[in-house]
Copies of this chain bind each other. A is one copy, B any other.
């Protein structure tokens, strides 16, 4: 009873199984080079003892590291966590945990000299998933991170891009608004320092050009507040606006809020479309028309790519988005 206190080690398992530590280690690691008899004895012993391998010791011995870091580029040195980041962190933690590794988040301040140097030197990190990546950051990724760094956003020749097809979504949204008769279509773009906001902007611009409509862009920061402000600015500058495409749902909800306050009918007077399809998109009034953004799927894929750690850069991977028609447009 007394020794219940001390956690069981592989040594205990080996002793009970009557093998060496090396053999116990082999069967526990699933190596095929062991006799059936040994395999059986070790497995039984491990089960009897309630053996839980010490991941740190294993990571130390293999030199593989035991945590993956989420590197989040941020204009402020202190991170402000919105719903997107919350979903991402949670999904990453789940995926990593399932693979037996932990997670930590690092803020990468915009414009810091060499933000990734420490991470590359840290043997405990098996890989890094970058968020809100900039081109500047991408050039500072140390070669030591090659093969175990991915970017949810833009990529480079070293770092694969794993992202949603937000350009395609923007195109679909713009076309839908045009097809449903809107002729004064405005867009609220994301923060200009984020390169991943470029494609939606381009897609919107292209669609407008192709149907001979003017372009009306204003920039927000992905918050609901900026949706309110942006809508007010839009309405002031182009009172005839009959559709607003916000590049995320939070911002679109802010737009809805301002329009509600001003008793502007949605979608009668102004159609509103978001992007992300967050849970709160469907509970407001009117429910928001938007396009899907499979954040969890993307992040899980990113974590697995990093963990796979194959030599060389992994392939880019773009996930589909599709329109979800509700009542706001």
Binding site for B on A (CB under 8 A): 4-5, 7-8, 50-52, 54-57, 59-60, 65-67, 70, 79, 81-83, 85-87, 89-91, 93-94, 96-97, 101-106, 117-118, 121-124, 144, 224, 227-228, 250, 253-254, 256-257, 260-261, 279-280, 282-287
| Alpha-carbon distance A261/B286, docked complex (angstroms) | 8
Question: Counting chain B CB atoms within 10 Å of each CB, which of A93, A253, A256 scores highest?
Answer: A93
- Give the number of copies in the complex: 2
- CB<8 Å pairs between A and B, sample of 23: A4-B144, A54-B60, A54-B122, A54-B124, A56-B123, A67-B67, A70-B93, A81-B87, A83-B279, A86-B87, A89-B93, A90-B105, A93-B103, A102-B104, A224-B282, A250-B279, A250-B280, A250-B283, A254-B283, A256-B285, A257-B284, A261-B285, A285-B285
Give the distance to chain B from A59, nearest Cβ to Cβ, in Å.
Answer: 5
Give the distance to chain B from A246, nearest Cβ to Cβ, in Å.
Answer: 12
Chain B residue nearest in CB terms to A5 = B144
The answer to whether B81 and A121 have CB atoms under 8 Å apart is no
The answer to whether A257 and B8 have CB atoms under 8 Å apart is no
| Alpha-carbon distance A39/B279, docked complex (angstroms) | 54
| Alpha-carbon distance A181/B105, docked complex (angstroms) | 48
- B89, B105, B124, B256: the one within 8 Å of A55 (CB): B124
Chain B residues closer than 8 Å to A103, beta-carbon distance:
93, 102-104
Chain B residues closer than 8 Å to A55, beta-carbon distance:
122, 124
The answer to whether A85 and B79 have CB atoms under 8 Å apart is no
Give the distance to chain B from A281, nearest Cβ to Cβ, in Å.
Answer: 10
Chain B residues closer than 8 Å to A257, beta-carbon distance:
282-285, 287
| Alpha-carbon distance A127/B22, docked complex (angstroms) | 30
| Alpha-carbon distance A104/B117, docked complex (angstroms) | 25
Question: Counting chain B CB atoms within 10 Å of each CB, which of A51, A123, A286 scores highest?
Answer: A123
If A52-B122, A55-B124 are given as contacts, then 7 extra A-B residue pairs at C-beta distance below 8 Å, sorted by A number, are A79-B94, A81-B91, A93-B93, A93-B104, A101-B102, A224-B282, A261-B285
| Alpha-carbon distance A65/B56, docked complex (angstroms) | 8
Chain B residues closer than 8 Å to A86, beta-carbon distance:
83, 86-87, 89-90
The answer to whether B284 and A253 have CB atoms under 8 Å apart is yes
Question: Counting chain B CB atoms within 10 Å of each CB, which of A59, A96, A124 scores highest?
Answer: A124
Chain B residues closer than 8 Å to A106, beta-carbon distance:
97
Contact (A60, B67) CB under 8 Å given A283-B257, A284-B257:
no
